[in-house]
């Protein structure tokens, strides 16, 4: 099968140029001018449109059991929502349930393989650590799982003691893993939550008050110091506070192998959101901060301190006692209402995988905060490079997978839950006016989104074995 996308303007992380793209057997075969003369099966007209590499979202949680419920997008509905928003590759986290990492990975593959509609990889959470686990970690490289997430918070569940994080990072250095850090101070959170509960402070904003920014800043600094001492690369996930960005800049100025990711929610929202009657919609960990934090995060992206905008997509229903219709089936999954009376019981997490590109384009490129090249860099090329997917993913060049988004920079719409295809009952950006949206999305050469039409299928997404960590960008 041969297809040509002709007449579009290709945007890469560094260039912008008008050219045609020949796609052959799912790969980009050629880029040039006047390719439309070649005999092909299909010609796609991209005149007046931009042509971008498919987005790479390296931070999703599909079908994740937590808080006596499960995140409401599974590996099909989440992939479909991602595709509608211009993302063609995701990396999801495998939770560790015991001492057998392979068992957890096989379990996650079993859930995802039949449902996957876009390409995907896995990170491995390391939340239980002992010699047995340490011995199994190196074997993950052969499975194509080349990143490990560790936590300095969630004391009774996911947190590792500092000594174990240090040991994990030594293994990471030796075998070529990238360590990802969830940076908050678990001990202080425990104290503050206890105090809030005892004082009867149970409304959603207390979720934020009990997870202070200083804890995040301190934990980022701790992580950077571990990176310095182990000489292992470190990637800070979901950066949310100004001081974290300052510390990351400090580490990078020293030449340390440290990188960072933020997510759209931390660029646009503040703790004020949690005061709304529907404040639980914005509950995630780490929490929303202040406008100063939003501004510093934007600056971090602009100056290159932060390399990636991911999503931490982990949606729940706002009111899981009522069903929504998803692909003609009524579905309801317990959600934020579980914590109506007590913020400690609100499932942490929010939707975003489909929102990321459209929101960042309008608010970032449209408002002059970032260039179109920076947009491509932080949403596709940098995450692909950092997580061992490049140049298969994250770039439009001969030999790469033909994961391509035809983007209409002039498309105007009022965004919200109707547009985003997340399997939940709300959208954080309800009513936002957007300018710029995907019109066609290709996965390995197949058009899976054509305007409002879904042409993808469960099971068509492939698990991608990623390469070991390469280099810091």
Closest approach of Cβ 254 to ligand URP, in Å? Answer: 27
Instruction: Identify the bridge partners of residue 463 per DSSP, sorted by sequence position.
Output: 120
From the list ligand URP, Zn ion, none, partner contacted by residue 123 (C-beta under 5 to 8 A by kind): none
Closest approach of Cβ 262 to ligand URP, in Å? Answer: 13
Query: The tokens of 261 are what?
Result: 């990711």
CB 104 within 8 A of CB 137: no
CB 185 within 8 A of CB 215: yes
Q: How many CB atoms lie within 10 A of CB 44?
A: 22
Identify which of residues 59 and 444 has a Cβ nearer to ligand URP in the complex. 59
Which residue has its beta carbon closest to Zn ion? 182
- Considering only 123, 182, 289, 444, the residue that binds Zn ion (CB under 5 A) is 182
From the list Zn ion, ligand URP, none, partner contacted by residue 284 (C-beta under 5 to 8 A by kind): ligand URP
Identify which of residues 11 and 219 has a Cβ nearer to ligand URP in the complex. 219
How many residues bind Zn ion (CB under 5 A)? The answer is 2
Identify which of residues 141 and 284 has a Cβ nearer to ligand URP in the complex. 284
Q: What is d(CA 439, CA 465) in angstroms, rounded to the nearest whole number?
A: 29
- Considering only 49, 159, 182, 289, the residue that binds ligand URP (CB under 6 A) is 182
Closest approach of Cβ 250 to ligand URP, in Å? Answer: 24
Identify which of residues 20 and 63 has a Cβ nearer to Zn ion in the complex. 63
3-state helix, strand, coil in the chain (%, to 5): 35, 25, 40
Q: Is 284 in the site for ligand URP (CB under 6 A)?
A: yes
Identify which of residues 310 and 438 has a Cβ nearer to Zn ion in the complex. 310
- Considering only 5, 22, 60, 61, the residue that binds ligand URP (CB under 6 A) is 61
Identify which of residues 154 and 454 has a Cβ nearer to Zn ion in the complex. 154
- Considering only 349, 372, 436, 456, the residue that binds ligand URP (CB under 6 A) is 349
304 SS3 class: coil
| CA 257, 123, 320, 155 torsion-angle sign | negative
Identify which of residues 349 and 461 has a Cβ nearer to ligand URP in the complex. 349
Q: Is 403 in the site for ligand URP (CB under 6 A)?
A: no
CB 315 within 8 A of CB 424: yes
Identify which of residues 60 and 400 has a Cβ nearer to Zn ion in the complex. 60
Q: Is 285 in the site for ligand URP (CB under 6 A)?
A: yes
Closest approach of Cβ 285 to Zn ion, in Å? Answer: 7
Identify which of residues 12 and 125 has a Cβ nearer to ligand URP in the complex. 125
Closest approach of Cβ 379 to Zn ion, in Å? Answer: 17
Q: What is d(CA 248, CA 225) in angstroms, rounded to the nearest whole number?
A: 11
239 SS3 class: strand
Q: What is d(CA 93, CA 121) in angstroms, rounded to the nearest whole number?
A: 9
Q: How many CB atoms lie within 10 A of CB 212?
A: 19
Cβ-based neighbours of 262, under 8 Å, separated by 6 or more = 238, 239, 240, 297, 300, 301, 306, 308, 309, 310
From the list ligand URP, Zn ion, none, partner contacted by residue 181 (C-beta under 5 to 8 A by kind): none
Q: What is d(CA 81, CA 76) in angstroms, rounded to the nearest whole number?
A: 9
Tell me the DSSP string of 180-230.
Answer: EEE---HHHHHHHHHHHHHTT--STHHHHHTS-HHHHHHHHHHHHHHHHHH
How many residues bind ligand URP (CB under 6 A)? The answer is 8
Closest approach of Cβ 138 to ligand URP, in Å? Answer: 25
Query: The tokens of 3 are what?
Result: 């297809």
* Count of alpha carbons within 13 angstroms of residue 96, beta-carbon side: 24
Q: Is 119 in the site for Zn ion (CB under 5 A)?
A: no
Identify which of residues 58 and 284 has a Cβ nearer to ligand URP in the complex. 284
Q: Is 58 in the site for ligand URP (CB under 6 A)?
A: no
Closest approach of Cβ 213 to ligand URP, in Å? Answer: 16
* Binding track over 307-336 against ligand URP, x by CB under 6 A: -----x-x----------------------
CB 327 within 8 A of CB 333: no
Q: Is 312 in the site for Zn ion (CB under 5 A)?
A: yes
CB 206 within 8 A of CB 343: yes
Interacting residues with Zn ion (CB under 5 A): 182, 312
Summarize as ranges the residues that interact with ligand URP (CB under 6 A): 61, 182, 284-285, 312, 314, 348-349
């Amino acid at each position: 099968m041969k297809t040509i996308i002709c007449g579009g303007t290709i945007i890469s992380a560094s260039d912008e140029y008008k050219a045609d793209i020949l796609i052959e057997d799912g790969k980009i075969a050629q880029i040039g001018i006047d390719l439309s003369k070649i005999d092909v099966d299909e010609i796609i007209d991209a005149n007046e449109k931009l042509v971008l590499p498919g987005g790479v979202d390296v931070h999703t949680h599909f079908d994740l059991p937590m808080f006596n419920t499960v995140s409401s997008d599974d590996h099909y509905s989440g992939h479909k929502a991602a595709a509608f928003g211009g993302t063609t590759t995701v990396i999801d986290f495998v939770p560790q349930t015991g001492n057998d990492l392979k068992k957890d990975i096989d379990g996650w593959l079993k859930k995802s393989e039949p449902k996957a509609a876009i390409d995907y990889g896995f990170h491995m959470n390391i939340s239980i650590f002992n010699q047995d686990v340490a011995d199994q970690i190196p074997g993950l490289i052969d499975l194509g799982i080349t990143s490990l997430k560790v936590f300095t918070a969630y004391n009774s569940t996911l947190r590792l003691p500092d000594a174990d994080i240090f040991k994990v990072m030594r293994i990471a250095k030796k075998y070529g893993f990238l360590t990802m850090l969830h940076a908050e101070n678990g001990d202080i959170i425990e104290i503050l939550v206890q105090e809030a509960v005892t004082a009867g402070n149970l409304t959603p904003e207390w979720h934020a008050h009990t997870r202070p920014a200083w804890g995040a800043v301190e934990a980022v600094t701790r992580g950077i110091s571990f990176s310095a001492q182990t000489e292992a690369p470190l990637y800070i996930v979901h950066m949310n506070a100004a001081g974290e960005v300052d510390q990351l800049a400090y580490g990078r100025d020293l030449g340390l192998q440290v990188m960072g990711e933020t997510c759209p929610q931390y660029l646009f929202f503040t703790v004020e959101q949690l005061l709304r009657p529907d404040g639980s919609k914005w509950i995630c960990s780490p929490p929303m901060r202040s406008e100063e934090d939003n501004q510093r995060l934007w600056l971090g992206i602009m100056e290159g301190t932060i390399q990636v905008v991911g999503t931490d997509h982990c949606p729940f229903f706002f009111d899981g006692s009522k069903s929504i219709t998803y692909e003609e089936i009524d579905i309801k999954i317990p959600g934020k209402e579980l914590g109506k009376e007590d913020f400690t019981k609100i499932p942490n997490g929010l939707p975003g995988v489909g929102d990321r590109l459209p929101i960042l384009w309008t608010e970032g490129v449209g408002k002059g905060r970032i260039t179109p090249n920076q947009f491509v860099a932080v949403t596709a090329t940098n995450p692909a490079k950092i997580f061992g997917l490049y140049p298969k993913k994250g770039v439009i060049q001969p030999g790469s997978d033909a994961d391509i988004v035809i983007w209409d920079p002039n498309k105007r719409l009022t965004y919200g839950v109707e547009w985003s295809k997340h399997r939940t009952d709300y959208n954080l950006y309800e009513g936002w006016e957007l300018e710029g949206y995907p019109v066609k999305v290709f996965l390995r050469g197949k058009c899976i989104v054509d305007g409002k039409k879904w042409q993808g299928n469960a099971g068509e997404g492939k698990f991608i074995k990623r390469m070991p960590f390469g280099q810091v960008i």
